[in-house]
Amino acid sequence: MPGDFVDFGDFVQATLPGLLRYGHALTGNPHDAADLVQTVLEKIGSRWTYVHEKTGDPLAYVRRSMANAHVSRWRRTRRENLVADLPDTRPHVPADPFEHEPLWRALRTLPPRQRAVMVLRYYEGLSEAEIAGALGITQGTVKSQASKAIASLRMKLKSADEGEGSGAG
């Protein structure tokens, strides 16, 4: 169990695959996920003794830190950046294998907190209490965010299905 690790290296080795999956679902691509996980683990590593002894559940603390860091990064980067000249060429970006998956596209459009709740609930399989602890919110907030996210996903997937059906006729 991740809470049983005294050594930070053992903790990272045991939880890294799950943290990368969680980061990928939060950010939408594996490269940003790796950056997010690295940034959070770097900060946690320097305070590991405190995190391990005081939080009770280091994995939940790391997940909450990842969600908070992702939201902070999203807030910083969503602003417009004005530049004097447009770049001459576009860099080659490999295609995301999930780019055309309707559920994945709909998940990307959710607000960060709703996406985090959905990922922790349905991708990581956590309970409402565990999600609330990991994100530092109440169980009621978890339920309302999940409900809003599910309603939004249903509406987006329904409109995507209707769009495909009308184009085939």
Spell out the residues 6+ positions from residue 153 whose beta carbon is closer than 8 angstroms to its own.
103, 106, 107, 110, 118
Q: Model confidence over 114-145: pLDDT tens digits?
A: 999 998 898 888 899 999 988 889 999 999 99
Neighbours of 88 (CB within 10 A): 5
Identify the segments of the chain with pLDDT beneath 70.
1-4, 74-93, 95-99, 164-169
Paired tokens of 43: 């900060």
Read off the pLDDT of residues 29-43 as tens digits, 9 standing for 90 and up.
889 899 999 999 999
Residue count (the chain):
169
pTM (two decimals): 0.52
Q: Are 20 and 32 in contact (CB under 8 A)?
A: no
Give CA–CA dist 121/126, Å, rounded: 5
Contact 107, 118 (CB under 8 A): yes
Report which of 52, 160, 61, 144 is spatially closest to residue 108, judged by C-alpha positions.
Answer: 160
